[in-house]
Amino acid sequence: MSFAGSLADGSRATQSAPLSKNREWPFYVSLYAGKGSLLSWLTFNNLSDSDLAGGLSWIKQANSAARYFPGGFDYLAGAAGSAYHAPTNATNHIVQADTAAVDFSGGNLPADFSNMINLGLNSKVTNLSSNKLSLSFGLSTGLYRGAVIDPATGKSSTYSGAVFQKLNNGYGFLLGTNLSSSVDVAP
């Protein structure tokens, strides 16, 4: 198995390892020049809400020079994943909806906010809200990225994420001054 991705502090992570006969993946990534890690036993399954699951440990040691989370953390969470299947034609959307909310919350945002979007042919996004937002989906990968104007500050920020098709949502992040915010696409 191979993994390549971005973490919610902007770090890149890659890992390759064999898959056991029980469909278990020994997932380990050394981070931050050996001063942090991602660690899990991930199990592949075919459940109604996920295709991949396991407990995940994400550790980052304190580093006063780090831009994001300089105090470090030891984060335990349930990891989940969903197989991605690209839309088969221009009228099938990447998430099953004609309209959706893009919700921005937490991190350095002064207040949570949402933008409404419309999904057109080939999942092309039209912003339906008064504050500026751009969003594009990579139909071959299930990844999304864009930029938004925070209505409280007028500041523009970029964000990115991935579609989780079994839950019909997208989950991502926006990097702030020293924290990350959640960016969810929800029909």
CA dist., res. 40 & res. 79, Å (int) = 9
Domain match, 72 and 106 both: no
pLDDT reported for residue 64: 93
Structure tokens at 72: 């470090």
**Alpha-carbon radius of gyration of the chain:** 17
Domain match, 103 and 49 both: no
Residues of the chain predicted below pLDDT 50: none
Structure tokens at 162: 């991935």
Domain match, 110 and 180 both: yes
Q: Could you tell me if residue 94 is inside a domain? A: no
Angle, vertex CA 142, rays to CA 97 and CA 89, nearest 5: 60
pLDDT tens digits along 95-118: 999 999 999 999 999 999 999 999
pLDDT reported for residue 174: 97
Report how many domains make up the chain.
Answer: 2
Structure tokens at 145: 């990225």
| Residue the block writes with tokens 């523009």 | 156
Structure tokens at 43: 């199990």
Long-range contact set of residues 11-16: C-beta below 8 Å, sequence gap at least 24: 13/38
Q: Which of 53, 81, 109 is the last residue of a domain?
A: 81
Domain match, 167 and 116 both: yes
Domain match, 62 and 8 both: yes
pLDDT reported for residue 52: 92
**Domain boundaries, position 37:** 2-81
Domain match, 10 and 67 both: yes
Domain match, 179 and 121 both: yes
Domain match, 52 and 124 both: no
pLDDT reported for residue 20: 92
pLDDT reported for residue 107: 94
Domain match, 156 and 107 both: yes
Domain match, 182 and 109 both: yes
